[in-house]
Amino acid sequence: MNLAGHLKHSVFQIISSIAKEEGIEAYVIGGFVRDLLIDKPDSLPKDIDIVVIGSGIEMAEKVKRAIDEEVPLAIFKNFGTAMIKWGDTEVEFVGARRESYRRDSRKPMVENGTLEDDQNRRDFTINALALSLNKQNYGDLLDPFDGVKHLEEGLITTPRNPGTTFSDDPLRMLRGIRFATRLEFTIEPSTFEAIIANRERIRIVSQERISDELNKIMMTLQPGRGFLLLDQSGLLEIVFPELHAMKGVDEVNGQFHKDNFLHTLEVLDNLAYRSDNLWLRWGALLHDIAKPRTKRFEPDNGWTFHAHEFIGAKMIPGIFRRLKLPLNEKMKYVQKLVQLHLRPIVLSQEIVTDSAVRRLIFDAGEDLEDLMSLCEADITSKNERTVKRHLKNFQIVREKIIEIEEKDSVRNFQPPISGDDIQRAFGIPPSRSVGIIKNAIKEAILDGEIPNEFEAAYQLMLKQGESLGLTVQNEKEKGD
């Protein structure tokens, strides 16, 4: 097979010319070739891996000089690699190598090798495909391990013995599951057996790399499948015990609860269908995370998971810290989604009062739409009519939200009277009384007892102040 037609980008021509002048061989290898064969895209994939039979760094330096604009070049001497960023394309150069591993590290010892050696060190047959950039066979596909056949069959398998491949670098187990999920491929049975056998080796991989793969699985079209594979391989129990704890069904007096793990994966896939916001997807994955801890069987009520939304929200920082996920506003956002995930459901089941909707808008703020999406994704009944009925109820809640939003703007609630205003009016320093009055005003607005306006809030302030024994020292400055 020849794919020269897809190698028109100037960077390939430049590499090809330099290779000829220097009398060394160069190839495009890995993900670029794989994705080219899958999609045959018109635009160039964003990252390109080049392997040269010689020094990758020297090749990169020559390519940089040959490009007639200024492009950044990063050299990683320790790894023997170099990277050029040309526009939004990243081209990575490496010398062909042969690798050997020690038991305690996924960092190999390397020596120079042939193209075959280099293809042989690749993780999967579909990632070991190379295209020649040499003049005599420009664009020729070099496929020593049947990668093209496996692409056609939708199969993930390794060039070498899978056990050695995974034991050498256990990160490959997660990569395999990630590719199987993203491409909707099957992991070849003996390859999957080797993952199961080597699952404990994942412990030598850094948490950053593990979480990087988890995030990539999260961003696929159907991440649920990835987590199912993680579970079936035994990796989930090691890398994500809280999620693993959600598995299974208990029975008391003939009453079962649903399998919270499978339910969660269904919610995640539903959500992924609606949104590609990574953190909203994390919210879906974690929304019921405290169910195992809060599970009780109550003779009168059956299975209950009291307060699982609050306890779940409390678990988020610990999980994020261990997974080395960001501990910033992204985490707070996920916490908020977990904590509030039952609120719209409760609303949709009752007669929706204005004040309940107002409080939801206030508590969820700018994340209300995301919360609604999560709740809609959370409807997973097998019965289509039940699903339809719930979705319709949510639609009513959504309409009510719009209606209330138009009436009172509580989403980014700014109290019409500030703490300063209260201090000035009564001539008092910052104190408990100020807080009490402020809170009373907020509550009254959220409950719809007074409108979200200065004058009404001022009157309530006076009333509250009076009952606290305060008298007005300064007349109002705001208002009309």
User: Contact positions toward ligand ATP, by CB under 6 A?
Assistant: 30-31, 47, 49, 122-123, 127, 169, 171-172
Window 382-401: contact mask with Mg ion (x via CB under 5 A): --------------------
Residue facing Mg ion at closest CB distance: 31
Q: What is the rounded radius of gyration, in angstroms, for the C-alpha atoms of the chain?
A: 30
CA dihedral 9, 15, 16, 18 (to 10 degrees): 140
Q: Which one of Mg ion, ligand ATP, none is in contact with 169 (Cβ closer than 5 to 8 A by kind)?
A: ligand ATP
Minimum distance from CB of 216 to ligand ATP (Å)?
7
Q: Which one of Mg ion, ligand ATP, none is in contact with 172 (Cβ closer than 5 to 8 A by kind)?
A: ligand ATP
Taking the C-alpha atoms of residue 252 and residue 440, their distance in angstroms, rounded to an integer, is 46
Q: Which is nearer to ligand ATP, 59 or 316 (CB)?
A: 59
Q: Which is nearer to ligand ATP, 171 or 422 (CB)?
A: 171
Q: Which is nearer to Mg ion, 179 or 333 (CB)?
A: 179
For 25, other C-beta atoms within 10 Å of its C-beta total 18
Window 29-58: contact mask with Mg ion (x via CB under 5 A): --x---------------x-----------
**DSSP category for residue 142:** E
Q: Which is nearer to Mg ion, 22 or 47 (CB)?
A: 47
Say which residue the tokens 């994390």 belong to.
282
Residue facing ligand ATP at closest CB distance: 31
For 461, other C-beta atoms within 10 Å of its C-beta total 23
Q: Which is nearer to ligand ATP, 88 or 406 (CB)?
A: 88
Taking the C-alpha atoms of residue 360 and residue 336, their distance in angstroms, rounded to an integer, is 12
Minimum distance from CB of 85 to ligand ATP (Å)?
15
Minimum distance from CB of 49 to Mg ion (Å)?
6
Taking the C-alpha atoms of residue 134 and residue 131, their distance in angstroms, rounded to an integer, is 9
What's the first-to-final CA gap in the chain, in angstroms? 81
Q: Which is nearer to ligand ATP, 169 or 367 (CB)?
A: 169
Say which residue the tokens 């979480």 belong to.
211
Minimum distance from CB of 123 to ligand ATP (Å)?
4
Minimum distance from CB of 5 to ligand ATP (Å)?
21
Contact 175, 115 (CB under 8 A): no
Taking the C-alpha atoms of residue 165 and residue 195, their distance in angstroms, rounded to an integer, is 10
Contact 56, 81 (CB under 8 A): yes
Q: Which one of Mg ion, ligand ATP, none is in contact with 122 (Cβ closer than 5 to 8 A by kind)?
A: ligand ATP
Largest Cα–Cα separation, the chain? 95
Contact 194, 163 (CB under 8 A): yes
Residue ranges in contact with Mg ion by CB under 5 A: 31, 47
